Amino acid sequence: MNFSFIKFRKIPLAWLLLTRQPLRLIVAIAGISFAGILMFMQLGFRDGLFDTSVTIHKLLDADLVLISPRSKSSISMSGFPKRRLIQTLALEDVEKTAPVNLTYLLWRNPENLKTRSILTLGFNPSDSLLLDDGFSRKADKLKNPGRVLFDKLSRPEFGPIEDWFLSEKKVETEVAGKRVLVEGLVELGPSFGADGNLITSRETYLRLFPANPKGSIEIGLVKLRSGSNPILVSEILKKSLPNDVRVLTKNQFIEFEKNYWKNSTAIGFIFSLGALMGFVVGCVVVYQILYSDVTDHLPEYATLLAMGYRLKSLFYVVAREGFLLALFGYLPAYFSGQILYSIVRNSTKLPIVMDANKTVLIFILILVMCMGSAGIAMRKLVDADPAEIF
Amino acid sequence: MRKAINKKDKNSKTVSINNLSHYYGINENKKKVLNNVNFFIEKGELVLLKGPSGCGKTTLLTLIGALRTCQSGDLMVLNNQLNGASRKTRQKLRRNIGMIFQGHNLLRCLTAEQNVQMGADLITNLTYLQRREVARKWLSAVGLEGHHKKLPNGLSGGQKQRVAIARALSANPKLLLADEPTSALDSVTGREIVSLLRKLAKEQDCSVLMVTHDPRISDMADRILNMEDGKIFNALSELR
Ligand SMILES: Nc1ncnc2c1ncn2[C@@H]1O[C@H](COP(=O)(O)OP(=O)(O)OP(=O)(O)O)[C@@H](O)[C@H]1O
Ligand SMILES: [Mg+2]
C-alpha cells in the first residue's frame, strides 16, 4: 500500500505550475473565491427567505393543519368556519384542536410613535400553540385582556421593546389603534413576509380586529394521538369534511408556504440567477488562468511529449490544476461566507446558515466550474507539437 | 574498426534508414525535403550530421525521434519500423530516445533536480526515492552537484544545457538526438558539453546523432555525415 504510493508518486507538476507564479495564483484564487462568495450569498438569501417564511409554521404544535382553500400564503390568509375544526374531533385519532387567527395589524413604535404592520396571531391561551417548552407559562399571562407577547427577533423598527421589557419598564403601546401591554417576549424571527410577530389571545385579537367574521379562523391546529399516521388521518378528513376547508399535514403546510415564495414570486429565480452569474464569472476567470497557463507553457508541454509522456498525462496535469484551484478557491469562499452570513444574520435577523446542503452544493459548483474550464483549456494542449520544438 | 562494425548483425544497428523521403505541404506547394536518404547508426556510435541551413537536418532528426509520421521509405529505430507506426508505438519509443534541443527546453517551474527527474520518472519500475537518486546521480555526472535546487532562471546557458543532458540521459535512452546543442554557447563551453555528452553516452552504450555547424567538435565524432538538399553524401565514409 505504502509502497505503491511511493511508486506512483511523481513530481507534483500541477502544484508547481500554479505555485511558482504566485501573483497569477492569487488572482485565480481571488476570482474563484469571489464567485464562490457570490454563490454563497445568493443561495443563502434564497434559502434564508424560504426558511424564514416558515419559522412559525415549523414551531406550530400540530400534526395536521386546516386552512381555507382560498389561502395562498401567510401574507394572504382567508378564513374558514371554526366548526370544521370541531368536526375533526369526531375522529378517534384526533386528540385535541386549537383555533388560530392570523392577520397583519398596525403596531405603533412606543419610542417614535411610527406605525408598522406586524403579523398577529390570536389563540386560546389554554391551548398549545407552539412547541416551545416555556411558552405555555407565558401564554397563561395572555388570559388577561389587552396583553400581547412580542417577538424579540422582530426588526428594530418596532422599537426597543426587548430592552424596555427587560429593564422592568412597562411596555405599553397601540395595536390597530387600541392599547396593549407587552406581557412577555417570544423568539420567532422575521420573515420576508413579516418584519415582526405578535401573539395574543383570541379574545384580545377580536378586540383589536373586530372586523374578523364571527366564528371564522385562519388556521386550525389538529393534534393526533400518538401512534396515529398523519397522512392517513388527513386523507380521511379530506373525504369527510366539506370543501370549504383544506387539510394538510404539518410538513405539507410548511411546503405550502415555501411553494408560495418559490412559485408565485420571482425571488427564487432572482437569487438563482445571481448565483448563476457568480458561476459564470468564476468560469471565465478559471478559464483565462488555465488557458494562459497552457499557452505560456506550450513548448514545455511539447518537450514532455517529445520525452515520451502521453498527451493524456498532460491533460491530467491541467485537470489537477483545475482541481487545486477549486480547493484553494473554495476554502476562502467558505470562510468569508461564514463571516458574511453572521453579518447578515446580525443586521437583518434572517436565519441564513451554512448548512450541509449549501456547503456541498457550492463546492460541487466550484469544482464543475474549475474542471469544466480545465477541460476547455486542455484543448489547447493538442497544439503542442513535439516536432516543432527542435 | 569498420570491418568489425559491418560484421555485427542487423539488430545491433540503433538506426537504419533505407530510401527515406519526406515532403512538406500539399498539392502544388508540396516540397521534397528528404530525398532517398540511406544510412545507419551503430550501437554506441557518435555521429555528427552537417549541412547547410535548410537542407533537412532537423526534419531527419524529428523523423528518427518518432516526432513526425514517416511518409515513405524504411525507418528502423531501436528495432521499430516507424513507417506506418501507430501514435502509441511512437510515444512508447520516444521513452527510449533522449533529446537535447537547441534551446534547453527545461520546465521553468521545476528545479534542476526536478527537471532531471521528469526524465527519470519515465522509468516505471523505480520508486520515487530511487528516481530522485537517479536524478541526483545524473546531475552530479554533469557537474552540477551544488545546483540541484536551482530553477532554470538561476542557471547559466551552459548549466542549463548540462541539466538538459542529464534529463535526456536519466531515462536510460538507447539513442540520443541533439540538434545544435552548442549553438547558444561559447566555443569552449560548447566543446566541454559535447565531450561530456560523448563520455556519458559511451558509458551507457548509447548512440548519439548530433546536428552541428561547429567545426571545432568534428574531432569528437566517430563518423560525420554530410547532408545537402535532402541527400546524404558520404553515408558510409569514415572520417578522420
Ligand atoms: N513544418 C514545416 N512545414 C513546411 N516546410 C518546412 C517545415 N519545417 C521545415 N520546412 C522546410 O523544410 C526544409 C528543411 O528544413 P529543416 O528544418 O529540416 O532544415 P535544417 O537543415 O534543420 O536547417 P537549419 O540548419 O537552418 O536548422 C526547409 O526548407 C524548411 O523551410
Ligand atoms: Mg534545424
Does any domain span residue A100? yes
One domain for residues A79 and A224: yes
DSSP states of A178-192? EEEEEEEEE-----S
Give the model's pLDDT for residue B90. 92
Return the closest-CA partner of residue B48 out of B197, B153, B205, B150.
B197
Q: Which residues pair with A106 in a beta bridge?
A: A117
One domain for residues A185 and A329: no
The reply to whether B102 touches chain A by the CB within 8 Å rule is yes
Give the model's pLDDT for residue A2. 44
Separation in Å, CA of B6 to nearest CA in chain A = 31
Does any domain span residue A151? yes
Single-letter code of the amino acid located at B183: S
- B109/A386 CB distance under 8 A: no
Q: Can you list the positions of beta strands (E) in chain A? A: 64-67, 80-81, 94-108, 115-123, 147-151, 172-175, 178-186, 197-201, 216-217, 219-224, 246-249
- A10/B128 CB distance under 8 A: yes
Residue identifier of the C-alpha nearest atom 14 of ligand 1: B56
One domain for residues A85 and A219: yes
- B127/A20 CB distance under 8 A: no
Does any domain span residue A200? yes
Give CA–CA dist A103/A333, Å, rounded: 41
**Phi, psi (deg, nearest 5) at residue B184:** -90, 5
One domain for residues A330 and A303: yes
Give CA–CA dist B149/A326, Å, rounded: 29
Return the closest-CA partner of residue A53 out of A261, A229, A282.
A261
One domain for residues A9 and A99: no
Q: Give the residue from B33, B92, B100, B110 with the most A CB atoms within 10 Å of its CB, the best one to mutate.
A: B110
One domain for residues A306 and A275: yes
One domain for residues A84 and A40: no
- B110/A299 CB distance under 8 A: no
pLDDT tens for each residue of A212-264 = 998 999 999 999 999 999 999 999 999 999 999 999 999 999 999 988 888 87
Which residues lie near ion ligand 2 (Cβ < 5 Å)? B 58
One domain for residues A38 and A84: no
Q: Considering its fold, how many domains does chain A have in total? A: 2
Taking the CB of residue A86, how many other CB atoms lie within 10 A of it? 12
Domain final residue pick, A182, A211, A244 = A244
One domain for residues A39 and A74: no
pLDDT tens for each residue of A43-68 = 998 888 888 888 889 999 999 999 99
pTM exceeds 0.80 for this model = no
Give the model's pLDDT for residue B11. 59
- How far lies A283's CA from each of A172, A314, B61, in Å? 56, 21, 41
Q: Which of B94, B105, B107 faces A389 most closely, judged by CB atoms? A: B105
Does any domain span residue A63? no
Top mutation candidate among B21, B22, B24, B209 for ligand 1, by most atoms within 8 Å of CB: B24
Distance B239 CA to ligand 1 centre (A): 26
Does any domain span residue A257? no
- B94/A304 CB distance under 8 A: no
Residue identifier of the C-alpha nearest atom 12 of ligand 1: B33
* Chain-centre distance for alpha carbon B213: 15
Give CA–CA dist A178/A201, Å, rounded: 15
- ipTM computed for the complex: 0.88
Separation in Å, CA of B68 to nearest CA in chain A = 6
Distance B179 CA to ligand 2 centre (A): 7
Pocket of ligand 1, beta carbon within 6 A: B 24-25, 33, 51, 53-59
- A390/B102 CB distance under 8 A: yes
Give B94's contacts in chain A (Cβ within 8 Å). 305-308, 386
Domain final residue pick, A211, A244, A277 = A244
A&B contacts, CB < 8 Å: 80
Q: What is the pairing mode between strands A94-108 and B97-100? A: unpaired
Does any domain span residue A365? yes
pLDDT along chain B (240 residues), means of 10: 43 86 89 92 92 92 92 92 91 92 85 93 84 91 89 91 91 92 82 88 91 86 91 60
Distance B54 CA to ligand 1 centre (A): 5
One domain for residues A94 and A179: yes
Q: Which domain holds residue A81?
A: 69-244
Does any domain span residue A217? yes
Give the model's pLDDT for residue A388. 81
One domain for residues A19 and A126: no
Separation in Å, CA of B52 to nearest CA in chain A = 16
Domain final residue pick, A210, A244, A278 = A244
Separation in Å, CA of A38 to nearest CA in chain B = 33
Single-letter code of the amino acid located at A23: L
Give B171's contacts in chain A (Cβ within 8 Å). 307-308
Name the stretches of chain A with pLDDT < 50. Answer: 1-2, 4
Give CA–CA dist A9/B100, Å, rounded: 26
Does any domain span residue A261? no
One domain for residues A39 and A78: no
